Amino acid sequence: ADVSVEVATVDHTLQKVRRKYHHTRHCRKRRSPKKRFEELWSGLWTYPYLVVVVVTAVVFAVVVTVWALLWVFTCRESNNGVYFAGMIRVANEEFIPEYRHADSTEFLSLAKKIELVLSNVYKGSSVAKLYKQAVISDLSNNNLGGVLVHFWMVFEVPQLKSPAVREEWVGAILRDSVLTSLQNRTSVGYLLDLPVDIESILINAAQRSDYTSTSSGSECLDKPYAPLPGTSVPLELDPPGGGVSCHIKLTSAPGSVVRLTISSFLIQPSDCVGDALTVYDSLLPMSARTLRAWSGTCSMSDLLSTNALCKCSFSGADDVCVSACSSHVETQEGAGYTGHIYSPFHPSLLPTKCICTWLFGTPSPSLGVSLKFHNYVLRPKDPNAHCTHGWWKVNDHMFCGSYVGYSTVFRISHPSPEVEFRCSSRQAQMPFQAAYGSYNLSQPCDQGHFLCSTGFCVERHQRCDGLDDCQDESDEHFCCTASCGGPSPPHPLYVCDGHSDCSNGRDELNCTQGTLRWDCVGTCILKKNARCDGVPDCQDRSDEEDCGCGLPSPVRKVGSFSNLDRIVGGSNSLEGEWPWQVGLLFSGNLYCGASVLSADWLISAAHCFSKERLADPRSWRAHLGMLTRGEARHVAEIQHVVVHEFYDASTFDYDVALLRLRRPWPASLAPLVQPVCLPTPSFTPGPLRPCWVTGWGYRSEGGSKGGSKVLPAVLQKAQVSLLSPSECKKRFHPVTARMLCAGVPSGAQDACNGDSGGPLACQASAGGRWFLMGIVSWGSGCGRPRLPGVYTRVSKLTSWIHQHIT
């Protein structure tokens, strides 16, 4: 009974407020000014006026905030720090011991002078507005005199202008400043008033982390010094965790070089793929001065610096050594190999700068000099190519050296030749050695022997016996006849291949007693392609072990076949038809192919990872069980990339790489993900057995079809035929024993750009397992008539593969 209800509208409330305000203003005319102000203030904070004030304040705050954001993100460019590591040689300054200490008065005085010169140069250049500062990191002695200066340069570059500051242009500013003052063919000019050796100027782009971690205040920095040549300085370093980079700056007395001997090195396997040890021929982490870089465990080797300095860093890479060597060598007649010559500082790694000269002499003008190399070969120099693994001059004839997986013999048809060797690589290379002796100029091989391309002499009965006696198969070239008549047996290429090449069937008789094909433990069997053929031929069944591979189970077809689906004669694959096929994506883009070898390992082509930016496993992703691009059954991260140590980027020899997955792919993905079988060294598919190349590469040469670049969405397949080594060599030069050719005469079926690293799979027998015969490597265009594709020959590299994956 005491409750009353009033329904009020906004209009009703406002009318009451207006009446109250009107009554206050007009009825109380004799109030004091102070009283009127108080009443007015209380009136303003009544409900409607409070709303107006709050809304106005909010609108004002929003306007101010929006304006500030527009100024930051639109009107004002955000600046990024860009860092460069540099090195120059000041020619007129004598090195004193105080320069080794960055806090000494002498160091600070010279450093301030050089920093001022560098600043004046860049403040007067086209990048003056972007230049921030130069910081001298180290002063060191060198074997050319003067003082070697190691410095940092920092630029503040707006994001929109970041491409305008590159190491080539930053270095060109210094070189141009010195170039104008060069006189009388000397390499020393003036950087303003500072005499600088123009050949010593080197600028490399760097990371901010390199700049901060190598500063004098770094928590993990050491600077040992060897005061006398031959002094041994022990190094023991246990770097802390948490992503800290440790650096050791090694220096030694003038006139010497630093030899770094690694006796123990271990990085525990983990997800930290960035863990690495890098050695530089500099006191700063400069990529162009990389001596060696390791991740995980490594083979122990000695490293040598160019000067009396060297830097070890736990995250980077670097370059090499200067030395000279010469000797006079006398050979003996009829005594075989009587001595050895060695690479500079052997057995240390080969430096980048070195010169060696050997003067040979034989006891008779009818004798020449024979050099037997281990894992090294000399070939005539191509006038248009650069020698990347050693430059040789033999009596005014030029040769290039390269590393191979076998021994070679190099013969010099002169009784007293002069042999000069120069280092020519940007990175430290493996050492070499050669045994020397004399040979008869008129008859290099004894009677009844065959001269191999490797320089070896093998007995004539070993020619065309199906075995690689020359180590480069030169004894097996041009043997493509079945030899069905006469006393000689048929060539092993035709024996027991399931096809009768002889009219009397001679090549298919006694197929378990032909050429040696498989080694059991403790015994041998004579059977072709006994590996994983489903028949246990060895008593211990070793020929059928680890054979869970190469048996695909296609389940469905995607789309319909048409000319638009073709990639150089290919067609759409079925799901599960090629379960070992892998797509490799670099920074999100499909770049190469690969094949599954096991739950942990993939195999691909070395040239996919040859450049420095491509060698970082963190930028790669492996797409397994993928039929249509972007629809992988499993995406795996790469933990480690192993490129064959003999890979030659100029010839694509040893074009093979292994990729270790960070985690095994799930077994539940079978049969859509499955390994391909590895062939034995003697594996030979029958001539009627199909071989197929697969990939997502371009459909035609140049990657264009109808004027536009289009990659197929569905995995493509194309059937090709293997060519004999002799036919392959007729098409291309040079073709090595680690290469094979496959295609069709018309060129209608072929691999192309984007298929690199992918598989060439062949069946050993009808309904049998599929073996990885080749890896897409190189070719002359795509789909050209009479120009087949060239593949890495896997059967020649199986031992190297097993060394890593087992």
Known catalytic residues are 607, 655, 756
**Tokens (6 digits) for 607:** 């040239």
In the block, tokens 């190519």 appear at 385
Q: Cα–Cα distances in Å, from 227 out to 223, 246, 572, 623?
A: 13, 23, 69, 54
Q: Count other C-beta atoms under 10 Å from residue 603's C-beta.
A: 29
Strands 620-624, 708-709: pairing is: unpaired
Measured between alpha carbons, how far is 572 from 582 in angstroms, rounded to an integer? Answer: 16
CA distance 473 to 494: 17
| Helix count and strand count (H, E) for the chain | 8, 45
Other C-beta atoms closer than 10 Å to the C-beta of 650 total 13
> Quick check: helix, strand or coil at residue 524?
strand
> What residues have CB less than 8 Å from 219, skipping those under 6 apart?
240, 244
**Peptide bond between residue 679 and the one before it cis (omega within 30 degrees of 0):** no
Distance, in Å, from the CA atom of 493 to the CA atom of 570, rounded to the nearest integer, reads 29
Tokens for 482, please give them: 């079945």
Amino acid occupying residue 592: C
Using CA atoms, how far apart are residues 507 and 527, in angstroms rounded to an integer?
13
Torsion on CA atoms 628, 634, 638, 639, rounded to nearest 10:
-170
Put the strands of the sheet holding 397-403 in their side by side order.
322-330, 353-361, 418-422, 391-394, 397-403, 376-380
For the record, the structure tokens of 790 come out as: 């060239």
Q: Are 460 and 475 in contact (CB under 8 A)?
A: no
Report d(CA 386, CA 560) in Å as an integer.
49
Determine if residue 588 is left, alpha or beta; phi over 0 gives left, psi from -120 to 50 gives alpha, anything else beta: left
Sign of CA dihedral 105, 109, 114, 119: positive
- The one-letter code for the residue type at 623 is H
Stated as kind and residue range, the H or E segment containing 691 is strand 691-695
Return d(Cα 345, Cα 321) in angstroms, integer.
10
Query: Minimal CA–CA distance to 759: which of 676, 679, 658?
Result: 676
Instruction: Identify whether the C-beta of residue 405 lies closer than 8 Å to the C-beta of residue 375.
Output: yes
**Cβ atoms of residues 373 and 419 within 8 Å:** no
Q: How far apart are CA 799 and CA 436, in angstroms?
A: 29
**Residue 661 φ/ψ, nearest 5 degrees:** -75, 145
**Of 720, 776, 782, nearest to 593 (Cα)?**
776
User: What DSSP letter does each residue of 665-680 carry, written as one string?
Assistant: PPGGGTTTS-PPBPPP
Residue at 37: amino acid letter: F
Query: Whose CA is closest to 593, among 760, 360, 741, 802?
Result: 760
**Cα 259–Cα 264–Cα 267 angle in degrees, nearest 5:** 115
Angle value at C-alpha 375, between 372 and 379, nearest 5 degrees? 70
Residues for the chain: how many in total? 806
Tracing tokens 């010094």 back to the chain, one arrives at 225
How many angstroms separate the CA atoms of 420 and 358, rounded?
6
Q: Can you read off the two tokens belonging to residue 169?
A: 């242009």
Q: What is the DSSP letter of 339?
A: E
Contact status, residue 714 vs residue 760, Cβ threshold 8 Å: no
